[in-house]
Structure 1
Amino acid sequence: MGRTVPTPALDPRLEAVLNLIRVETHADIGSDHAHLPIRLIREGRVRHCVVVELHPGPLALARHNVNRARLEDRIDVREGDGLGPLHPGEVESASVTGMGAGTIAGILRRGGGRVPPALVLQPNDSPLPLRSWAREAGYHLRAERLIPGYWPYPVLQLESSHGPDPAYANLPLSAALRYGPHLLREGSALLRQKIWADVVRLTPLAAPGRTAQTELETAQEALTLLGAP
């Protein structure tokens, strides 16, 4: 009998992603080491995964780890760019993590009919482009997390739905898009620190007509919404 391969550990941001996924079929785009799909299968959160990886090194690593975990029949590793290797309707949800928000938004825009009805996204910078895409594409923001790390990592759970997204109701849109409607309502200490850091960074740059002025006003508006700590 072969040795039992240990279940891979995930860092806190990927643990947050893991905890927002529970479907029959899931795709992990840009999976790198395939640790997230392996955990999803082993914890019974999904029955079948598709791993998509563009670059040869991470692709080989993903295949090695899937084979080592003896999950070849449950995890299909494919070479390709973004959602391109998927068939329309093949998976119920997809995760895209560890990339810039602009890169993730580009993957989703190019995905067309391959974009599944549920998404969990973890950008490495401001998720504003992803919240904007979701509103344009008919996806509602079901949950958000802000995970401490080298910087605060946002995690977004989106679901295709009709009509205006109720998450943004009764909130200033600019502040909600930049800082997250659910996060603003929760008002965590980490979010306060993030917004205050923006105020400190933007204050010396702000002047009428500058982008920094608009961003500073948005940050100040968000602090006002949060009220006294």
Structure 2
Amino acid sequence: MTPQVLQRFARLDERLEAVLALLHTGTHADIGSDHAKLPLRLIQTGRARRCIVVELNPGPLALARRNVARAGLDNQIDVRSGNGFSPLHPAEADSASITGMGAGTIAGILRRAEEGVLPPTLVLQPNDNPAPIRVWARESGYHLTDERLIDGYWPYPVLRLLRHPGPDLAYQDLPLAAALRYGPHLLREAGPLLAARIQADVLRLTPLAAPGRTAQLELDAAQDALKVIEP
């Protein structure tokens, strides 16, 4: 691999660097990979032995193949055309990532995956409120083992899920609606980025709230979250 190619793929943006930091795996699948920069970095840093890139759209698919070829990593990164997890075989991947999509879209991709295809470790970076992903995880036997909030154009959440039996103790002793909306680990950390987001939600939702409205439920969750981070 030439120094120019290494330099070209040496850096990711902060949200993808956060995803990278939560992975150390054998075979990793990046779903909706777009440019394949995350799989390239996983191989280059030794955080994965093999990667599968899945992309549905022809333009990004061609870009991913071109980037992998330029990096000389065709023997370690397999680029496949397809939708969600459909190009994967059961138990083929040890981990998977989905980044840069809405949380509802990500949850839908996970729900549509055929039995046995989802790997035990998932790292997900939605572009909006991750509550649908947290709900899916609790229903589907995945525990939330780590989550981070990355400052950017807006705060980007990054979640690490691990398949595990039994209830997820991350939610223990927390108001459930607040934990699903803002994240149990993030609430316990009570970082300034999360605090600013919760306070902004309270200001935005207060004039909209009324009994029976969705805004009231969201405001209740935000106020409960404030009680956790500002006891």
Q: TM-score, normalised by structure 2?
A: 0.97
Deviations 1:188-216 (A, max 9, x none): 00000000111111011001111101110
Equivalents in 1 of 2:65, 2:53: separation in Å? 9
Following superposition, the deviation at residue 112 of structure 1 comes to 2.5
User: Match for 1:111 among 110, 113, 134?
Assistant: 113
> In structure 2, the residue corresponding to 1:112 is in which secondary structure?
coil
CA offset digits 1:125-179 (Å, max 9, x no partner): 0000000000000000000000001110000000000000010111111110000
1:168 maps to what in 2?
A: 171
Structure 1 residue runs of 5 or longer lacking an equivalent are: none
Letter of the 1:201 partner, please give it. Answer: R
2:65 partner SS: helix
* Corresponding residue pairs, total: 228
- What does residue 201 of structure 2 align with? 198
Structure 1 segments (4+ residues) deviating >6 Å: none
The answer as to whether partners of 2:141 and 2:163 remain within 8 angstroms in 1 is yes
Which residue does the alignment assign to 1:61?
Answer: 63
1:6 shift after superposition = 2.5
Question: Residue 42 of structure 1 aligns to which amino acid in structure 2?
Answer: Q
Other-structure match for 1:211: 214
Q: Where in structure 2 are there 5+ consecutive unaligned residues?
A: none
Given that 2:86 and 2:114 are in contact with CA atoms closer than 8 Å, whether structure 1 keeps it comes out as no
Identical residues among aligned pairs (%): 67
1:5: which partner in 2?
5
CA distance in 1, matches of 2:100, 2:155: 13
- Find 2:45's aligned residue among 39, 43, 46: 43
Q: Could you say if the C-alpha distance between residues 3 and 170 of structure 1 is closer, same or farther in structure 2, counting changes exceeding 3 Å?
A: closer
| Structure 1 residue 53 displacement after superposition | 0.2
Find the aligned partners of 1:169 and 1:112 in 2 and give their Cα distance. 30
Q: Separation in 1 of the partners of 2:77 and 2:140?
A: 29
